[in-house]
Amino acid sequence: MIFAENLTRTYGEYKALRGVTCTILPGEFVAIMGESGSGKTTFLNLLGGLDRADSGKLVVSGEEPMKYNASELAAYRRRNVAMIFQDFSLLPTLTVLENVVLPILLRGQKADQKEALQMLERVGLADKANRLPETLSGGEMQRAAVARALLLSPKVLLADEPTGSLDRRNGREALALLREVNQTFGLTVVMVTHSQLAAQAADRTLFMADGQLSAQPE
């Protein structure tokens, strides 16, 4: 479960979050809609342990990342979360398979190539495991990014504008894949988006405006 209470985050004089409170249940797929600068990505970064709130309370899968130092936050991320991004974040000089196993290697662990190939098969990319990312379509690159995230066995999958770089058809396919992994793996999925179409894939939509979160659009 994710529980946030009165979270605030300020950068200089800019108040990115102004008392964000919400509860997200285990296995729930939640979309957070908002315009650029509304605070939605800041909130996602707090959940992912990439940033720290100034005040408030945050509990993710029974842990309170706001209480952790830098090394503890790194361990928290390894235990709990994986992220996918609008730009896919695939290294161009590595094959699809090498990109998928890279986070495991960066953890200092041995990568299970067979498991990685099985994950690529689940997302329909087993036949492209040895290709470079530049040979893939945008939708295929996003599927590779999802496979990479799933190989980490996260409790929470965080998606930052996952359809932002995709055309309508590939965007629909990416959303269908997120819904599939949410249901198949029982993953909690939190997706930030400015797209109403993307938000329709979720169980529930929250709305961010001026650093505040609500159940209804303003």
pLDDT at 21: 96
pLDDT at 218: 66
Tens place of pLDDT for every residue, the chain, 218 residues?
Answer: 999 999 999 999 999 999 999 999 999 999 999 988 899 999 999 999 999 999 999 999 999 999 999 999 989 998 899 999 888 889 999 999 999 999 888 888 887 889 999 999 989 999 999 999 999 999 999 999 999 999 999 999 999 999 888 888 888 999 999 999 999 989 999 999 988 889 999 999 999 999 999 988 86
SS3 80: helix
pLDDT at 106: 84
| Inter-CA distances, 150 with 8, 153, 186, 195, Å | 30, 5, 12, 24
| Domains in the chain, CATH or no CATH each | 2-89+154-214 (3.40.50.300)
Cβ contacts of 160 within 8 Å, gap of 6 or more: 41, 44, 83, 84, 85, 86, 191, 192
Question: Mean pLDDT in the chain?
Answer: 93
